[in-house]
Amino acid sequence: MKMRTRFAPSPTGYMHIGNLRTALYCYLIAKHDHGDFILRIEDTDQQREVEGAIDLIYQVMEETGLHYDEGPDIDGGVGPYIQSQRLDIYHEYAQKLIDLGGAHYCFCEGELEGEDPCLHLSQQEIQDKLDAGISHVIRQTIPTTGTTSFDDEVYGHIEVENKTLNEGILIKSDGYPTYNFANVIDDHLMNISHVVRGNEYLSSTPKYNLIYKTFDWEIPTYIHLPPVNKDETHKLSKRNGDASYQDLKEKGYLKEAIINYIALLGWSPADEEILSLDDLIAQFNIEHISKSPAIFDIDKLNWMNGMYLREMPLNQFHELLLPYYHSITRKVDLLELSKVLQPRLEKLSDVEESIDFINQAHPFDASIYTHKKMKTNPENSLEALELVKERIADFDDFNNDEAMTEFFVNLAKEKELKNGRIMWPVRVALTNKSFTPGGAVEIAHILGKEETLRRIDQAIIDLQNVIQ
């Protein structure tokens, strides 16, 4: 039997990280074995559906490269692939399940405690209530004796006593199925061989298996995934506004880095952690899926995203940054700016803060000139800047970093000073920042000779005013 997995999101908002992780694992499990990956939209909870959410699902799947073989817009012969378009199918199988003794009509209002009294209604009483138009649901009929067991590929053998299972609703009073019923019917009719979903469904799986057994259908292979937590005790939650794919994209993370990182939230590769989608397909195996909750570590994602940015060809990285340079009004060497940023940037949203000195230096702050490691202070920084001003006026090779570095090094050597005694004051004079993308040489290159000299002049005036 060909492996077939399905991703079945609800169109209730953004693509939550846990949902995307499930989609990714479904995709990788199928593609590792040359199987089919199916997209199914589970929109039976009409009250929670968000307008435009289905289009968002399509967009995320396309952007991340998780291309499905069958779905609402790719018919594989077992559709429709949107549950609200399958209501007749659910009602047909609900009636069959009633006939087989696996479900029953229930006319009770609210939640049930204990045995459902509607179990004891005669066929005539049921028909009379249906004919009278009394609101009703269809509930699963659970055996009161015996046990139901199943084997999960991650959590192993699980067995429960039937008497502990509640008789959940399969068809709601509005005619829509619950997940507990629709997922079983759809998975069977769509020939899903491996069901991949969160471990919150472990406790419900015995009830699903009772439906499979009542119909005498083959039970799929189960792969339940550990939760993705934001800390040791709290799960990431779409309802709580936790991270979504869209949030991460807006914060400047690359889709490749997001997918790579999410793959590691509950699965461990053999060695390398930086893996393309093709690498993940080749390496992914169910045996390395963890039982323990995965912690979403934003620092690890930052590191990984930075690795992806650094591995890009400079021209590609530069093109990526150009939209972030629109705020720059001064004529500067933008390619040189990208060259300086590439080894230092972790995410694209950091660009704005990194380049905020370009149009003009930050307000003067004498304290920044004091640097313990560089052995600088406002007084000796003033001396260094006056020296640089005197000598650099005759230096014209601002586009040659090697030559400019040699200029500063030779100047420090001549005065028997450490390089930092010259370069740190220049870096501060050009930016008035403690942390900059690049040092004195790179920043002077970016700003050019005229602006470099103007800022050094201003720094000298500011320092003189403070020291006097």
What is the spatial distance between Cα 338 and Cα 333, in angstroms, rounded to a whole number?
A: 9
What would the two tokens of residue 215 be?
Answer: 């119909």
At 237, is the secondary structure helix, strand, or coil? coil
Residue whose C-alpha is closest to residue 208's, from 177, 179, 246, 248: 179
- In order of 71, 104, 128, 177, the CA distances from 173 in angstroms are 28, 13, 17, 9
The one catalytic residue in 172, 230, 235, 238 is 238
- Tell me which H or E stretch contains 103: strand 103-106
Spatial contact of 219 and 152, defined as CB atoms under 8 Å apart: no
Spatial contact of 419 and 408, defined as CB atoms under 8 Å apart: yes
In the chain, the amino acid numbered 372 is K
Phi first, then psi: what are they for 155, rounded to 5°?
Answer: -100, 0
238 is catalytic: yes
What would the two tokens of residue 66 be?
Answer: 């998780």
In the chain, the amino acid numbered 284 is F
Spatial contact of 205 and 222, defined as CB atoms under 8 Å apart: yes
What residue spans of 65-178 are helical by DSSP H?
Answer: 87-99, 123-131
Spatial contact of 64 and 317, defined as CB atoms under 8 Å apart: no
Residues serving a catalytic function are: 238
